[in-house]
Amino acid sequence: MPAIKAVEMYFPDNRARLLEIAAFLDRIDRYESGDQARQDFRYRSFIKALQILLEPDGLRTIKVQEALSDPTREPIEAVADSKAYGAWKPGDGDEDY
């Protein structure tokens, strides 16, 4: 299939998704304590992932997945109340990313 056909098929849905992301980021800017929210590990991972989207190398999906993944190798000691957030939350002693 020629790539222009993919543009025709998928542009409207993805235009809508793009506006959702823009509105999500505007919401964070508009609400109080935006600076604090922008330091959150999820926000920072999100912005990092957005930058990946501008690299036209056909590997954007894998790179976004990797940017949002736990890079450590060791099992965790106990589940306790640890939860999955969708972005990796560095623990004490973990190098920043």
Partner 1 sequence: MKIIDPHIHMVSRTTDDYLALAYCGIHTVTEPAFWAGFDRLSADSFYDYFVHICEVEPVRASRFGICHYCWIGMNSKESENLSLAHQVLKMLPEFLDRKTSIGIGEIGLNKNSRNEIQILQAQLSIAAQRNELVLIHTPHLEDKRKGTRLIMDLIRNESRILPSRVLIDHAEEHTIGEIKDNGFWYGLTLYPNSKGSPERAVDTVEIFGSEGVCINSSADWSVSDPLATVKCANEMRRRGHRQELMDKVFYHNPNQFLSQCPKFKAL
Distance CA 49, CA 97 (A): 12
Q: Smallest distance from the beta carbon of 12 to partner 1, in angstroms?
A: 13
Can residue 51 be called a binding residue for partner 1 (CB under 8 A)? no
Residue of the chain from 9, 21, 22, 23 that contacts partner 1 (CB under 8 A): 9
Q: Smallest distance from the beta carbon of 91 to partner 1, in angstroms?
A: 13
**Nearest in space to 38 (alpha carbons), one of 21, 69, 47:** 47
Residue with tokens 């589940």: 79
**Nearest in space to 64 (alpha carbons), one of 32, 90, 31, 86:** 86
Rank residues 34 and 90 by Cβ distance to partner 1 and give the closer one. 90
In the range 18-37, which residues lie near partner 1 by CB under 8 A? none
In the range 58-97, which residues lie near partner 1 by CB under 8 A? 61-62, 65-66, 68-73, 75-79, 82, 84-88
Can you read off the two tokens belonging to residue 74? Answer: 């060791």
Supply the DSSP symbol for 69: S
Q: What Å distances lie between residue 63 and 60, 72, 79, CA to CA?
A: 5, 16, 27
Q: Which residues bind partner 1 (CB under 8 A)?
A: 1, 9-10, 61-62, 65-66, 68-73, 75-79, 82, 84-88
